[in-house]
Amino acid sequence: MTSLPPLQRLLSIMKTLRDPVAGCPWDKEQTFATIAPYTLEETYEVLDAIERQDFADLRDELGDLLFQVVFYAQMGSEQGLFDFDDICTAISDKLERRHEHIFNVENTTPAALTSRDVLVNWEKGKTQERADKALFSALDDIPGNLPALMKAHKIQKRCANVGFDWTTLGPVLDKVYEEIDEVMFEAKQAVVDEEKLGEEIGDMLFATVNLSRHLGHKAEGALQAANRKFERRFRQVEQIIHHAGLKMEEASLEQMEEAWQQVKQQEKSGAN
């Protein structure tokens, strides 16, 4: 078995694991739906390895992610839907179709194109593909289970591609302030309508994602970075409080705030 080329070896292992008689009981029980959560988990583990620049771990995590694709391919083959070769053919066809400036050089001049031109053409190709599938809304085929920040960014980008977008930063920022005011208005009611408050908070977040997009950043990545920064600083605050002979639960808010400012100052000094 080990003499097989690496990809064929992996496909063979997967087929063996799903063998109705000799296969692994757990692998045989899985379906597209039951495997899906693992795919999401493996994707995040790939991203985590990239963020940590742990390339040995990245190699392993990419293997785990590839195994997810192989798993789906085997199940698809068993049901007569598609196999691994079909997956490869589909993505190859799409890449050649979306990169006409590379693979159809008789009609185009690749050297004259900028990366922005390529992105514009890519979006045009996606629009045409949606039309071919009778998906006529700009928002068709956006995955419903994307993380909320990513989905908001994609929705806004799709709308911008058809001209439904502000062209200057001022109105975008005004909208953020407007949504903050609406959140606070609902929060200050004598009897708070929690459903309405939640709706306004959602609008505020959506507007903030739009501001991030207009400033050239993806909110998902920005918030992930903010999470990491907060976690790093909080852990240092815990250490400071511990060295002062206290548990976090025993420290006052003022003591914790003082420690927080100390950590921030240390980071600023280290950056200079």
Complete DSSP assignment for the chain: -TTS-HHHHHHHHHHHHT-TTTS-HHHHH--HHHHHHHHHHHHHHHHHHHHHT-HHHHHHHHHHHHHHHHHHHHHHHHTTS--HHHHHHHHHHHHHHHTHHHH-TTT--GGG--HHHHHHHHHHHHHHHHHHTT--STTTT--TTS-HHHHHHHHHHHHHHTT-S-SSHHHHHHHHHHHHHHHHHHHTSSS--HHHHHHHHHHHHHHHHHHHHHTT--HHHHHHHHHHHHHHHHHHHHHHHHHTT--TTTS-HHHHHHHHHHHHHHHHHHH-
Q: How far apart are CA 65 and CA 81, in angstroms?
A: 21
Instruction: Output the pLDDT for position 171.
Output: 96
Q: How far apart are CA 87 and CA 75, in angstroms?
A: 13
Instruction: Output the pLDDT for position 42.
Output: 93
Instruction: Output the pLDDT for position 99.
Output: 82
Q: How far apart are CA 140 and CA 142, in angstroms?
A: 6
Q: How far apart are CA 28 and CA 20, in angstroms?
A: 7
Q: How far apart are CA 229 and CA 236, in angstroms?
A: 11
Q: How far apart are CA 261 and CA 255, in angstroms?
A: 10
Q: How far apart are CA 92 and CA 86, in angstroms?
A: 10
Structure tokens at 141: 């085929």
Q: How far apart are CA 70 and CA 66, in angstroms?
A: 6
Instruction: Output the pLDDT for position 224.
Output: 87
Q: How far apart are CA 92 and CA 87, in angstroms?
A: 9
Instruction: Output the pLDDT for position 48.
Output: 86
CA atoms within 13 A on the CB side of 146: 13
Q: Do residues 149 and 220 lie in contact, with contact meaning Cβ atoms separated by under 8 Å? A: yes
Collect the ranges in the chain with pLDDT lower than 50: none
Instruction: Output the pLDDT for position 255.
Output: 95
